[in-house]
Structure 1
Amino acid sequence: MYGSVMRGRVKSGRRAEYERLVREIAPVHQAEGLQSIDVAWEDKDPDRVVVVIRFRDKESYLRNAQRPETDRDYRRQLELLEGEPEWIDITYAVHAGRPVAEGASSGS
Structure 2
Amino acid sequence: MYGTIMRARVKPDRKDEYVKAMTDMAPDPSVGFVGVQIGWEDKDPNNLVLVVVFKDRDSYVRNAEAAETDEMYRKQLEYLEGEPEWIDVNWTEYIGAGQRAGAGA
Q: TM-score range by the shorter chain?
A: over 0.9
* Structure 1: 5+ residue stretches without partners: none
Provide TM-score, normalisation by structure 1: 0.92
> Contact (CA 8 Å) 1:42, 1:49: kept in 2 or not?
yes
Deviation for aligned residue 1:31: 2.2
Distance in 2, Cα, partners of 1:31 & 1:76 = 22
Distance in 1, Cα, partners of 2:71 & 2:104 = 27
Structure 2 match to 1:70: 69
Runs of 4+ aligned structure 1 residues displaced above 3 Å come to: none
Distance in 1, Cα, partners of 2:28 & 2:44 = 29
Identical counterparts, % of pairs? 46
Provide TM-score, normalisation by structure 2: 0.94
CA separation of 1:43/1:103 partners in 2, compared to 1, >3 Å: closer, same or farther?
closer
Distance in 2, Cα, partners of 1:97 & 1:105 = 14
* Structure 2: 5+ residue stretches without partners: none
Structure 1 match to 2:95: 96
> Contact (CA 8 Å) 1:29, 1:64: kept in 2 or not?
no
